[in-house]
């Protein structure tokens, strides 16, 4: 499958394999269920636990959003991109391992917030390395195959092991709590081991030469980019659309499991449905990349947005485990494809020597958006006392993002 890619391209893709275990085990599946169990044991209602989870995600993402443009700008200097990547990757992996050592819901939330900062900040530099490892013509393919590898390997293999521990650990004397904690440690080890190709074989090609007062100069470059944003009108308009629709995508990822629990879907059904999502998402991430060559990247992004609007309707009316499986299947068709094509579409627009700076902006739009979605969900759930209105509120984000894409983002050459 990867024979037509270079060593650097494959090594870059394998970081998706490495960190995708975190995305499913920590963000989407086992940690949210464990948190809900600890919260319930402490006398917290399911809706209130949903709100706490949403607010914690928003707060952690706020920290990343504030750091993103600063980190991105400094990272444009020669040698800095990999230094920052290593620091945040290690922070994320070690804090993920630390989740294995607490049974207190508040401590769990705080450690989780640290993992979010490490994971998300490392991804700023990982995304920016895309322009160093491949050509503009291959960006859609490399980005899509990266997400595909993440789904079929990083998400599926450690997730299957984790599900096996949680569901069948009692048969060999492993308590449910210990099984969950073992899955957290497995995730951290998987993340570290499979990041080695990225650390060894990916190099920063596009950069700015080092100079004195790099922090001061970085802020000055950041200011100049903000003030000269009109030079990059196409970039800015796309980022505005991305701000809304990726918010919806991230909110669905982070809130789906706690929402399913709140409306009565059993833990076993939740875990198995999410496993199915990872398996189905693998071919669809590649399909999105191939279809973008025929109908255009913008068109495929709009297809994904339309599917997510349907997902919000399904989620609002969901009453059974079967309906949760339908929702998970719909998510699987578009989640990876939308993220991959957004990353590559943006990578084609930006000046390569300022890739970190511009991916810092990309990340700040994505992260500030990811503050709004979980907070919106949490607020509507808390005010109405019903998590269904929380998931329905997310639909607004896709409508706004899709509208901007249709009327303001210019068509790419294949559209």
Q: Tens digit of pLDDT for each residue in 260-316? A: 877 777 777 888 887 888 788 888 888 998 898 889 889 999 999 999 999 888 888
Q: Tens digit of pLDDT for each residue in 133-181? A: 998 888 888 888 887 888 777 667 888 899 899 888 888 889 989 999 9
The yes-or-no verdict on residue 35 having pLDDT over 90 is: yes
pLDDT > 70: what percent of the chain?
93
Could you tell me the pLDDT band of residue 94, with boundaries at 50, 70 and 90?
very high
CB distance 279 to 160 below 8 Å: no
- By CB atoms closer than 10 A (0-12, 13-18, 19+), residue 21 is buried
Three-class DSSP labels, 5-57: CCHHHHHHHHHHHHHHHHHHHHHHCHHHHHHHHHHHHCCCCHHHHHHHHHHHH
DSSP state of 203: -
Partners of residue 208 on adjacent β-strands: 77
Question: What pLDDT is attached to residue 174?
Answer: 92
Kindly state the average pLDDT of the residues 55-77: 81
Q: Tell me which of 368 and 170 has the higher pLDDT.
A: 170
Q: What are phi and psi of 208, to 5 degrees?
A: -110, 135
Distance CA 296, CA 357 (A): 26
Kindly state the average pLDDT of the residues 359-380: 74
Q: How many CA atoms lie within 13 A of 212 on its CB side?
A: 0
Number of C-beta neighbours around residue 224 at 10 A: 11
Partners of residue 77 on adjacent β-strands: 208
Number of C-beta neighbours around residue 316 at 10 A: 16
CB distance 70 to 356 below 8 Å: no
Kindly state the average pLDDT of the residues 385-404: 88
Could you tell me the pLDDT band of residue 97, with boundaries at 50, 70 and 90?
very high
Architecture of domain 9-201+214-407: Up-down Bundle (1.20)
Mean pLDDT of the chain, nearest integer: 85
């Amino acid at each position: 499958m990867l024979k037509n890619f270079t060593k650097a391209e494959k090594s870059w893709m394998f970081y998706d394999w490495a960190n995708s275990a975190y995305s499913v085990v920590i963000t989407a599946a086992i940690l949210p269920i464990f948190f809900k169990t600890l919260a319930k044991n402490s006398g917290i209602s399911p809706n209130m636990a949903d709100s706490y989870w949403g607010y914690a995600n928003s707060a952690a993402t706020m920290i990343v959003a504030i750091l993103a443009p600063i980190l991105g700008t400094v990272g444009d200097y020669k040698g800095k991109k990999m230094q920052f990547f290593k620091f945040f990757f290690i922070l994320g992996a070690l804090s993920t391992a630390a989740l294995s050592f607490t049974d207190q819901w508040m401590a769990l939330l705080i450690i989780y917030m640290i993992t979010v900062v490490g994971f998300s900040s490392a991804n700023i530099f990982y995304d920016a390395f895309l322009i160093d490892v491949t050509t503009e013509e291959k960006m859609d393919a490399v980005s899509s195959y990266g997400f595909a590898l993440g789904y079929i390997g990083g998400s599926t293999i450690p997730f299957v092991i984790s599900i096996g521990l949680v569901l069948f650990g009692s048969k060999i004397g492993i308590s449910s709590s210990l099984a969950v904690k073992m899955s957290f440690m497995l995730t951290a080890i998987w993340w570290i081991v499979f990041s080695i190709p990225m650390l060894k074989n990916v190099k920063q090609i596009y950069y700015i030469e080092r100079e004195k007062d790099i922090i001061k100069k970085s802020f000055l470059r950041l200011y100049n980019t903000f003030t000269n944003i009109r030079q990059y009108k196409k970039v800015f308009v796309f980022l505005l659309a991305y701000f809304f629709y990726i918010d919806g995508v991230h909110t669905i990822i982070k809130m789906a499991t706690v929402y399913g629990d709140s409306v009565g879907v059993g833990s076993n059904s939740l875990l198995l449905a999410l496993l199915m999502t990872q398996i189905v998402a693998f071919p669809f991430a590649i399909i999105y990349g191939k279809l973008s060559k025929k109908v255009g990247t913008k068109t495929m992004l709009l297809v994904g947005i339309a599917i997510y609007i349907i997902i919000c309707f399904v989620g609002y009316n969901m009453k059974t485990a079967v309906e949760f499986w339908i929702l998970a299947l719909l998510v699987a068709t578009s989640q990876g494809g939308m993220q991959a094509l957004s990353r590559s579409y943006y990578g084609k627009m930006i000046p390569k020597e300022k890739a970190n700076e511009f991916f810092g902006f990309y990340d700040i739009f994505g992260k500030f958006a990811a503050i709004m979605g979980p907070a919106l969900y949490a607020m509507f759930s808390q005010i109405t006392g019903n998590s269904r209105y929380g998931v329905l509120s997310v639909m607004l984000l896709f409508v706004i993002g899709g509208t901007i894409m249709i009327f303001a983002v210019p068509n790419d050459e294949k559209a």
